[in-house]
Amino acid sequence: MSGWTRRRAAAALLAAAGSPLQAAARPDFRLSFGSCANQDAPQPIWDAVLREQADVHLFGGDNVYASGPGWSVERLRAAYAKALGLPAVRALLARPHLAIWDDHDYGRNDGGAEFEHKHEAKAAFLEAFQVPAQDPRRQREGLYTQAVFGPPGRRVQVLMLDTRWFRSPWRPSRERGAKGRERYEPNPEPDLTLLGEGQWAWLAAQLAQPVEVRFLYSSIQVLAQGHGYERWGLFPHELQRLLRLLEAHPARATLMMSGDRHFGALYRVEADSGAPHWELTSSGITHAWAGVQEDDPVRLGEPVRVNHYGVVDVDWDAAELRLRLNDTLGQPLLQHTVAFSNP
């Protein structure tokens, strides 16, 4: 039985039992995602995520916190055992899912290619998420991966980028703490990389696949401009390379997603050609930055400053994506609709 069939059957049973009518009106395809889950903090939000009955869930990085001084693979494995052992998380892991790391499960705060224990951290990740022996991630560097869901005409591609394994060092800010340059500043040197040439070649090959809807996940923010923390814009040439590549391979709808920042937000940037670029950030499974104040010219509306997770619904008949950031009870805090841009 397909994921769509299972989900619709479950919705019908809920409706027959007297549940709200919206339980029967399921979307054609649903994706849920979130990031920044400290294994030592309460995590009631997973019950709401599970109730979404998503066709795929994305574990978007900082899935555990095991970085910092005294790093050890034993500490990382213990963190995974605690975090992934929660009943609702185990239930999500029994359904279609994809996962990537960010710095705190990678092992070093803001860490990149220089992290000396990355091979041990990768082995712990593969073990924790029970990645099959034949999976390409076991044979190559990094953890980038992708999957395609649905039949021709309704194909949904999900790409998970690894922004840790290959990444060159950031340039420290010469005005540390200044607005927009809090920690790092842009570095235009052309030899610096976020993805590494092997991952770039892989990404180009995946984008050449014919799909109707494309979701691209980066653990760090892609489009955001209003801060000096980790983001693609710190390597401007890499950001432009990504955007040009997406523009060269348009789907009917493309959405970028990210985590890392401990708040949620929606971003929109005009493209040189074709449809605008969209990004939905969801960061705050267990802890959110209640006091965040950032002026960002490409952000739409205010940030979500409480714990939350993200949901994206695909409606083929209406030709639109419906975006939500929901609170710990599953109630929407941010909602937006993105119309398909191509026939």
pLDDT in tens, 203-221: 999 999 999 999 999 999 9
| Euclidean distance between CA atoms 250 and 271, whole angstroms | 11
Q: State yes or no: pLDDT of 66 exceeds 80.
A: yes
At residue 8, the pLDDT reads 39
Q: State yes or no: pLDDT of 303 exceeds 70.
A: yes
- As a whole number, the mean pLDDT across the chain is 93
Q: What is the mean pLDDT of residues 215-238?
A: 98
Q: For the chain, what are the domain ranges?
A: 25-339
E strands along 107-243, which residues?
145-149, 156-160, 171-172, 184-185, 213-217
| Euclidean distance between CA atoms 313 and 8, whole angstroms | 14
Backbone angles phi, psi at 31, to 5 degrees: -120, 135
Query: Which residue is it, tokens 């709808």?
Result: 253
At residue 251, the pLDDT reads 97
C-alpha distances (whole Å) from 201 to each of 36, 134, 196, 207, 221 are: 29, 21, 9, 10, 21
Q: State yes or no: pLDDT of 16 exceeds 70.
A: no
Instruction: Write down how long the chain is.
Output: 343
Q: State yes or no: pLDDT of 7 exceeds 60.
A: no
Which pLDDT band holds residue 5 (cuts at 50, 70, 90)? very low
Residue-wise pLDDT tens digits, 76-103:
999 999 999 999 999 999 999 999 999 9
Q: Which secondary structure element, helix H or strand E, spans residue 59, and what is its range?
A: strand 56-59
At residue 343, the pLDDT reads 66
Q: How far apart are the first and last CA of the chain?
A: 30
Which pLDDT band holds residue 274 (cuts at 50, 70, 90)? confident
Residue-wise pLDDT tens digits, 96-110:
999 999 999 999 999
Q: For the full predicted model, state whether its pTM sits above 0.95.
A: no
The structural architecture, per CATH, of the domain 25-339 is 4-Layer Sandwich (3.60)
